[in-house]
Structure 1
Amino acid sequence: MENVHYSTWAELFKIHARSNRVIHHIIPSTTVPGTSTDAEKEEWSTVDAIVLKWIYATISDDLLHTILEPDSTAQAAWERLRDIFQDNKHSRAVTLEQEFSNTSMEDFTNVSSYCQRLKLLADQLKSVGAPVTNNRLVLHMVAGLTDAYSGVGTLLRQSDPLPPFYQARSMLVLEEAGLAKKAALGTSTTSAMVADSCSSSPPQNRGSPGGHKGKNRSSQKGRY
């Protein structure tokens, strides 16, 4: 229950339901076909059970045990899940707002994970009635960057209008790739300089220090 991302799950589930023409089983509409005959009621009940099974199959065990009720409909299960994650909206908004404001890149291993966290928090804030505008999302993303990204951060600040979040994210990812390439190039250059230094050193005399080898040859010559 703590790790599930309800807003993402709900949006994907609605897309799946629309693609199968059963969205009215979770979100009632005035255009729903009537169920006057027994055959129509039976068909509606069968389809509703399928949608309910989709819900139960795509949530965690703790959520399943929380919302499971006998003879439930898909709409009732959908609404119980919504209430779990969207009740006390103001309290949730305060908690999410604090987490959003305290998120910075130094707590993440790369740009992608940092941006993903910011986008997730923004989506969660939107689901509790406190949407984050694109400008605020981009500016906060820039404010939380480390010193290595100061150049692209300045470029983004000076943009008017600010680029969409996904475009700003792409700029950071490209900058990250460039920094990694420079670091790798610097390492290889240092290694090459060390290797060149070793190869340019004068060869060591294989004989003993002080020309003992020459002495040995002279003594051998006199002996013969």
Structure 2
Amino acid sequence: IEGLGEKNVELLLSKGLIKHFIDIYKLKKDDLLTLPRFAEKSAENLIDAIEKSKETTLARFLYALGIPHVGEYAARLLAKNFRDLKDLYHVGPGKISSIRQMGEKIARSVSDFFNDGDGGNIETLEEMQRLGIRVSNPDYESEKHAGRPLEGLTFVITGTLPRPRKEVEELISSLGGHAASSVSGSTDYLLVGENPGSKLKKAESLGVRSLSYAELMELIEGKS
């Protein structure tokens, strides 16, 4: 962000105006005017620069997240193979390492970032989007992924299905979807089997659509 150098970051931290990098996007001009280094014009310039930084590409955004082992080239490869940020939520290392030139170390690092234990990273990313961060993806090779019936959809499974859960997760993944372990605001469908658990109640509270295994098959056949 132009104008937000190391000294200004240190100043903002020392004055308690930011504690986490996401707080940068909550700054107001009046906040900056309380600081010794800022006058009306310089405060306006920095707020404008922060606003401009809200428009970015997926490749640049992934690189800026500072995920270990993910440089500019790896970030571009990810952007070519994942349609948007949500596509990476709860992604497994196997899906990433299947991309040519994407090694296991990078795959594990990216998967760990998007599958951190408490979901804090995804929470932060969703908060950034609520604050106006807009991530486009001109690098996505849509022709390569076209025609997959579950492309870009996120599923969570609860209960016992007619097939082993692992098989169903692999089916979803092979058809362009993602099988996540927990229900969140980014979940598209809860796949409900026999004796569902607490995920069903959470899905209902979040307004996430539920479907049976038979309905999943209909969804796949209807789009293929």
Q: TM-score range by the shorter chain?
A: under 0.3
Higher strand share: 2
Higher helix share: 1
Larger C-alpha radius of gyration, 1 or 2? 1
By relative contact order (CA 8 Å, sep 6+), the higher-ranking structure is: 2
Give the TM-score taking structure 1 as reference length: 0.24
